[in-house]
Amino acid sequence: MQRRNWLVAATALALTTPFLASTALAQAWPARPIKLVVPFPPGGLIDNMARLVAPKLAQELGQAIVVDNKPGAGGNLGAAEAARAAADGYTLLMASPPLTISPALYSKLPYKPEQIAPIALLGRVPNVLMVNPASGINSLAELTALAQSKPGQLNYASNGQGTSLHLSAELYKSQSGAFVTHIPYRGAAAGLTGLMAGEVNLMFDNLPSALGLIQSGKLKALAVTTPLRSSALPGVPTMEEAGMKGYQVFAWFGVAAPAGLPAPVQQKLEQALERVASQPEVKAAMLKAGAEPAWANAQGLASFMQADMAQWKKVAAFAKISLD
């Protein structure tokens, strides 16, 4: 009888030990400051969102969140640094479109996509299709008809090869059958200037950076690229409403980590981020910046990233884009 009781007790201990260890790990983390890698320079949308979220997340976790800008190679250098870090919860990555675009454009990356684990989606940002008001073009249908009637004679600006703005235009070309020539500029601001000067005929841009020019009448918005209209431009239709079925593109931001994060740490982090994302002041700040709050957990973000990557692989193949 004593031996039987001992076996029962030992079995119970074996079953509860992993649970107790998991609970202890979650309670112990974080025990020191956490680094949040931003793969872009200070001052841009992704950096601004990181600096909005970081202090709120620090309050939830009880440890400082240090924003560390690591720009370069279209966001790939920062992603590589996060991918190489220990999967202990002390290095996080501000996730954004390069994580789904770069694998479609490069056969060799400084990291493997599977080395990055999605944690949470926090928000998304519409792109907006614009023309110069002097062009007389008032709708997506008019633009497409003109482009189709003059193949290769119209051109569009972007902020460089392989960017989301470049690929947004190539997706439009693939769906419309219109041939429009790409004119890459050194940054979105230069492209917008070129559009206002009449150097190019159209341009896709992230809504926050273009909003002021649209509201002042210097540029005309034809459509936004998200499934729903933007609250910042409620009178502007979506691409689908304007006649381009299935067209959907948006910049996005969230949090990722090195793959292999302990499950209790990931769960604690995901829950903390959900509380941050639900705060009214955080939502208001996102909207003020031209972003739309859009929460998704780790599984939801992973599903979105897989679908987004598949879309960009098709566009890259259509446009014959390779950045190796």
- Say how many Å lie between the first and final Cα of the chain, rounded: 71
Q: Determine the average pLDDT of the residues in 4-23.
A: 52
Euclidean distance between CA atoms 94 and 317, whole angstroms? 27
Question: CATH code for 126-224?
Answer: 3.40.190.10
**Residue pointed to by tokens 């790409």:** 182
Instruction: Tell me, yes or no, if the two domains 33-124+250-319 and 126-224 fold the same way.
Output: yes
pLDDT band at 113 (very low <50, low <70, confident <90, very high): very high
Q: Which CATH superfamily is domain 33-124+250-319 in?
A: Bordetella uptake gene, domain 1 (3.40.190.150)
Beta strands 181-184 and 155-158, pairing class: parallel
Domain segments of the chain as ranges: 33-124+250-319, 126-224
Structure tokens at 286: 């996102």
Residue 250 phi, psi (nearest 5): -155, 150
Query: What is residue 324's predicted lDDT score, i.e. its pLDDT?
Result: 75
Looking at the predicted structure, is the pLDDT value of residue 110 above 50?
yes
Mean pLDDT across 63-73: 95
Alpha-carbon span 242 to 30, nearest angstrom = 48
Report pLDDT for 231: 87
Task: Could you list the beta-strand ranges (E) of the chain.
Answer: 34-38, 65-69, 91-95, 116-131, 155-158, 181-184, 202-206, 220-224, 250-258, 292-296
Q: Mean pLDDT, to the nearest integer, of 56-77?
A: 95
Q: How confident is the model at residue 242 (pLDDT cuts 50, 70, 90)?
A: very high
Summarize pLDDT for 175-212 with one digit per residue, the tens. 999 999 999 998 889 999 999 999 999 999 999 889 99
User: Taking 80 as the threshold, does the pLDDT of residue 18 lie above it?
Assistant: no
